[in-house]
A = this chain, B = another copy of it.
Amino acid sequence: MIPPSESNYLSHIAYDSVIFGFSGEKLKILIMEYHNTGLFALPGGFVAHGENLNDAVIRGLRERTGLDKIYLEQFYTFGDTARWQPEVMRTILTANGSDPGTHAFLLDRFVSVAYYALIHYNAVVPQPDALSDSVGWYDVEALPPLILDHTAIVHKARQTLQENLDRKLVGMNLLPEQFTMKELQQVYEAVLGYPLRRTTFQRKMLALGILQRHEKRFTGKAHKAPFLYSFGV
């Protein structure tokens, strides 16, 4: 691994990504765990010289998820001095068998631009990076303690997602190509954190005129089969 340094990346600037997925009626996010430290963090990275900030984030997401064309939105930039805790990075490097002395870049202060991404839970096999030995899905309501201000970042991401759910019609990005009305409602409920009324929800979604109706899905369950929808014209 080439250690990140000023010769590769812009100093003082990082990004963190809150990657949302939906599974088992719950909203989840991808969390990394660093080798032998018990430390958990959001996936993040740095911006190369000559690289657009947004492109750096897209690159990082592709490396971790293997996916292109992810729904991605920048939501806030975190720049408090309290997020500068070089001991944490030193612990991570040491536990990883690296000499912190050769990683001056990582030990400096960073302002972090935070993004959230929405992906199809099943379309992805998360890839750990050089410093982390595992990446896993965690229920948003039951996260492990995260390093630095990452818990606050997740909180603000969730809040922004809630605000954008209706405004930007963003829910379908958490579902596969085709889905039932009930699944869509479950996404909304998982994001918002409270139940919605079935008939009102259905009427509202159909009234938007952006759902394409397809054939029914036969699940083998003892009841009427629901229509499948996709997010199209």
Q: List 19 A-B contacts (CB under 8 A).
A: A10-B12, A10-B111, A11-B11, A11-B12, A13-B79, A13-B111, A49-B109, A50-B81, A52-B79, A52-B80, A52-B81, A53-B77, A53-B78, A54-B79, A74-B76, A74-B77, A77-B77, A77-B113, A111-B113
**Chain A residues numbered 29-81 whose CB sits less than 8 Å from any CB in chain B:** 47, 49-54, 74, 76-81
- Contact count band on A: 20 to 34
A interface, CB within 8 angstroms of B: 10-13, 47, 49-54, 74, 76-82, 109, 111, 113, 163, 167
Which residue on chain B has the smallest CB distance to residue A76?
B74
CA distance A11 to B111 in the complex (A): 11
| Nearest-Cβ distance from residue A114 to partner chain B, whole angstroms | 9
| Chain B residues, CB < 8 A from A11 | 11-12
CA distance A79 to B163 in the complex (A): 24
| Chain B residues, CB < 8 A from A52 | 79-82
